[in-house]
Amino acid sequence: MRRADDPSLLIAVPLFEASTYTAPWFFPGAHWQTILPNVTRRRIRVEYRRERFELPDSDFMDLDWLESNPVHNEARCCIILHGLEGDSHAPYVKSMARSFQRSGYAVGALNLRGCSGKPNRLKRFYHSGDTEGLSFVLDQVSMRYERIFLAGFSLGGNVLLKYLGEDSARVPKSVRSAAAFSVPCDLAGAADCLAESRNAFYMKRFIKLLGEKLREKEKTYQEYEYEEGYSEMKSFHEFDNVYTARLNGFRDAIDYWSQSSCKQYLNRLDRPALLVNARNDPFLSDSCFPREIAQSSSLFHLEIPASGGHCGFPGRKVPEGYWHERRALSFFSAQGNR
């Protein structure tokens, strides 16, 4: 008999607002559900093998591999994308990588530009709409694996969903389906949400980490200089206007968000994709729950648990992984991709 939280119960539902996921009583509220899981999962250990991809624009991206057990089917792999200021060693990435490895997948945890512990070479750095590097890496990986699955968190989820929808003709046929969690698919709405006083803690931390990355890059590449003043900024409206937009060829933050949000591409998907956004996610605005698109699409699946926080989804761990990891595995299997 299946447990009530068995994610395989939802395999064919395009829009599911009564999710099987429920946060434990001892993780009360969105902030606890967001913060504590990343503390409790830090002790997860994985041994990666790093592969560097030299990009056509003279930059590079590092992919950290966690190969599956040799007795398993190496014809399939899962590529995982981290969130803002994360990397392959983020607790939520390591946890998912281990769960997929145990289920017989080779796993590649992709570090976005400048996130692998080494500053990237170009003056610009990664952002929510940068699909060029992902596209290049997947073109290479597709020559090795018959079946590729994509999993992304937050910013990384936006990148992979945008990649799948903006130009489906360039996506290798071996890329079968995708699962994304806690995705700010409307970047302007999410920026407004994070600017609220209740989220000041997160915003302060993000600005600090991004600013440190700018300073580190100046030390590594003396020809690069960035404007001062990031430490006084309190929102992505300010930071993206001064840094992200200008460095990446956008007019301003509004233009950057408009062009980079994956929401506008979801109705153009040509392969199955699952988006799981918790209703209580403190980072997401109402516009980040694209119900109408899910209702009209046979390929885009949207699940909205009442709880879970941002990239949290705390709960009981079983051998197959935490709930959201099992949800991704069951979704991929449901598409006939065993």
The tens place of each residue's pLDDT in the chain, 338 residues long, gives 445 455 554 444 567 666 889 888 888 999 999 999 888 887 889 999 999 999 999 999 999 999 866 545 568 999 999 999 999 999 999 999 999 999 999 999 999 999 999 999 999 999 999 999 999 999 999 999 999 999 999 999 999 999 999 999 999 999 999 999 999 999 999 999 999 999 999 999 999 999 999 999 999 998 999 988 998 999 999 999 999 999 999 999 999 999 999 999 999 999 999 999 999 999 999 999 999 999 999 999 999 999 999 999 998 767 767 899 999 999 999 876 54
Contacts of 249 (CB under 8 A, 6+ apart): none
Distance of CA 324 to the CA centre of its chain: 13
Could you give the angle at the alpha carbon of 149 between the alpha carbons of 144 and 152, nearest 5°?
125
Question: Rounded to the nearest 10 degrees, what angle do helices 91-102 and 323-334 cross at?
Answer: 50
Interatomic CA distance for residues 150 and 294, integer angstroms:
19
| Domain residue ranges in the chain | 7-186+267-334, 187-260
Burial of 71 per CB tally in 10 Å (0-12, 13-18, 19+): exposed
Helices (H), ranges, the chain: 29-40, 91-102, 132-141, 155-166, 187-194, 200-220, 236-239, 245-247, 253-260, 291-296, 323-334
Interatomic CA distance for residues 309 and 99, integer angstroms:
21
Interatomic CA distance for residues 274 and 325, integer angstroms:
12
Tokens 């598409």 correspond to what residue?
A: 335
DSSP class of 267: G
pLDDT given at position 154: 99
DSSP class of 67: P
pLDDT given at position 16: 67
pLDDT given at position 9: 45
CATH number of 7-186+267-334: 3.40.50.1820
Tokens 């209580």 correspond to what residue?
A: 280
And the tokens for 99?
Answer: 């769960």
Interatomic CA distance for residues 45 and 61, integer angstroms:
22
